């Protein structure tokens, strides 16, 4: 079992990381041990896992190949195996509301800012500080691009993630998914912002 005080290396991902990052994303978003799933859901996920992983791998390869100026994929590695990514996040430019409205408005004024997405840590490496290190490295990347704000979404019921983001300075900017929350009982999406 890795030590909680292990130091991680954060670096820019390369094409050789696509397989590892695909594994991390698929494992985190579709087979996570943090969520309770029934036997049939687990069997279905196991059955379609290779297809999900392949789709994620194609998406990643496409983003890596685009060479967009304001896109980055950062990975974390551990000294025990410096070539295998254990966590990742991506940053791109995305339209976000200029003003922090909490109520539902159509036609809000939007502007592009750096946005974190696909933040995932392999289950074996969670709760050891690697996500925090990745987010701090993302801030440095965004500063190099000339920006002083960073945005991300989190689900309202994802309390461990919300606690981490709050501790490192992310604040709620707006709220989305209110209609889905009312009609289908799905958690709201909170848009978080950090200014630095």
Asked, for residue 4, whether it belongs to a domain, the answer is no
Among residues 149, 133, 5, which one has the least CA distance to residue 74?
133
Say if 51 falls within a structural domain: yes
3 occurs within a structural domain: no
pLDDT of amino acid 29: 87
CATH of the domain at 18: 3.40.630.30
Q: Cα(156)–Cα(195) distance, rounded to whole angstroms?
A: 21
Residues of the chain with pLDDT under 70: 1-6, 32-37, 100-108, 177-185
Sheet holding 171-176, edge to edge: 9-12, 72-77, 87-97, 110-121, 149-155, 189-195, 171-176
Considering its fold, how many domains does the chain have in total?
1
> 1 lies in a domain?
no
Domain extent at residue 85? 9-195
């Amino acid at each position: 079992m890795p030590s909680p005080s292990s130091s991680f290396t954060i670096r820019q991902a390369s094409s050789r990381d696509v397989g590892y990052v695909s594994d991390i994303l698929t494992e985190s978003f579709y087979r996570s041990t943090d969520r309770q799933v029934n036997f049939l859901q687990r069997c279905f996920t196991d059955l379609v896992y290779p297809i999900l992983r392949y789709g994620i791998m194609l998406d990643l390869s496409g983003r890596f190949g685009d060479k967009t100026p304001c896109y980055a994929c950062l990975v974390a590695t551990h000294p025990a195996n410096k070539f295998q990514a254990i966590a990742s996040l991506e940053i791109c430019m995305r339209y976000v509301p200029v003003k922090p409205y909490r109520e539902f408005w159509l036609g809000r004024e939007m502007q592009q800012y750096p946005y974190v997405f696909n933040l995932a840590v392999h289950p074996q490496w969670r709760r050891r500080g690697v996500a925090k290190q990745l987010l701090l490295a993302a801030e440095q990347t965004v500063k190099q691009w000339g920006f002083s704000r960073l945005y991300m979404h989190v689900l309202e019921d994802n309390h461990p993630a919300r606690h981490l983001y709050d501790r490192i300075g992310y604040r709620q900017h707006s709220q989305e998914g209110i209609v889905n929350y009312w009609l289908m009982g799905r958690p709201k999406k909170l848009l978080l912002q950090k200014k630095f």
